[in-house]
Copies of this chain bind each other. A is one copy, B any other.
Amino acid sequence: MGQITLSKVVKQFGEVTVIPPLDLEINEGEFVVFVGPSGCGKSTLLRLIAGLEDTSAGSITIDGVNATDLPPAKRGLAMVFQSYALYPHMTVRKNIAFPLKMAGMSPEEQEKRVKAAAGVLNMNKLLDRRPGQLSGGQRQRVAIGRAIVREPKAFLFDEPLSNLDAALRMGMRLEITELHQRLKTTMIYVTHDQVEAMTMADKIVVLNAGRIEQAGSPLELYKNPKNIFVASFIGSPKMNFVGGQVAKYHNAATIGVRPEHVMLSTSSGPWKGTVGVAEHLGSDTFVHVNTEEAGTITARISGEVVVKHGDTVWLTPMPDKIYRFDAEGVAI
């Protein structure tokens, strides 16, 4: 259960077309991440699937049933909101039980399901608190709990980690991935952070101005980006792009090479430059080098090479890791 098909879905707000006709297939049990810069329509797309926005044209099918005109509650989906959207005047227990109460379930059954969900998310001790007394991570967990109890066909997540701090984000990322492995329910996840997309997704859908730029597995997108947009969006630090003579030499309008595919030498190489900023992460160092031939290039060096501001270095892109793009930015 949890097979969702979008067919020629269009969304307009007044005169503005936010999503031009768009087709998308989400398979049962898949973890799909919509990723893109802000304003790319990823949240709107999620809200169309949830039924919180009406489609202007096209159809949405959930498990073979046309859901285009169904109200949100009848679609059998559960959503975790960016603001968590917990009910502030209810205890955690009541928050989680709310969808069950609305479904007219008996109090005993409600309590049983709440206990089960609390067990899964390890928050039995929080049940009698109110949202205002919880930390960001705990609220996040309650919001997920409220989604789980309904046993939905699919979970929808709208940037659920954007309000958490760096360390917590990593932990929750892992927890959601583990949850998916346990429940095996379809999940659709919206984020602007490509790291979240890469680490969590079975399938990433990269959106730009309402269009799907590319959809595929994380490694597929990393290895074979269809265009400059995807290439620059996926991977951290960002891919280096070089135009002009250097690109022409490779028969392309622009070439791209990822920082991890640039070799740095203190003696020789095709691109000579001086070190600007060197960011030491311990495990790696990101070196930003100002070259004459190729502009500012970021290189990632593993381990022990020590370079510092002002050093002269030479860079060599790995020949088999160079991406070539034509004048429209499409990969050749």
Contact = CB atoms under 8 A, between A and B. Distances in A.
A210 to B, nearest CB: 20
Contacts of A258: 282-283
Interface size class of A (residues with CB under 8 A): 35 or more
Nearest to A284: B260
A177 interface: yes
A277 B195 contact: no
B165 A199 contact: no
B283 A260 contact: yes
Contact of A283 (B166, B181, B200, B235): B235
Interface centre among A177, A218, A222, A279 (most CB of B within 10 A): A279
B218 A282 contact: yes
A42 interface: no
B166 A165 contact: no
Interface in A153-187: 162, 165-167, 170, 173-174, 177-178, 181
A302 interface: yes
A211 B113 CA distance: 46
Contacts of A280: 198-199, 218-219, 222
A223 B281 CA distance: 11
Interface centre among A177, A193, A218, A277 (most CB of B within 10 A): A277
A34 B169 CA distance: 21
A17 interface: no
A234 B281 CA distance: 9
Nearest to A218: B280
A269 interface: no
Given A280-B198, A300-B283, A192 B170 contact: no
B195 A166 contact: yes
A218 B284 CA distance: 12
A280 B200 CA distance: 8
A286 interface: yes
Contact of A181 (B235, B236, B309): B309
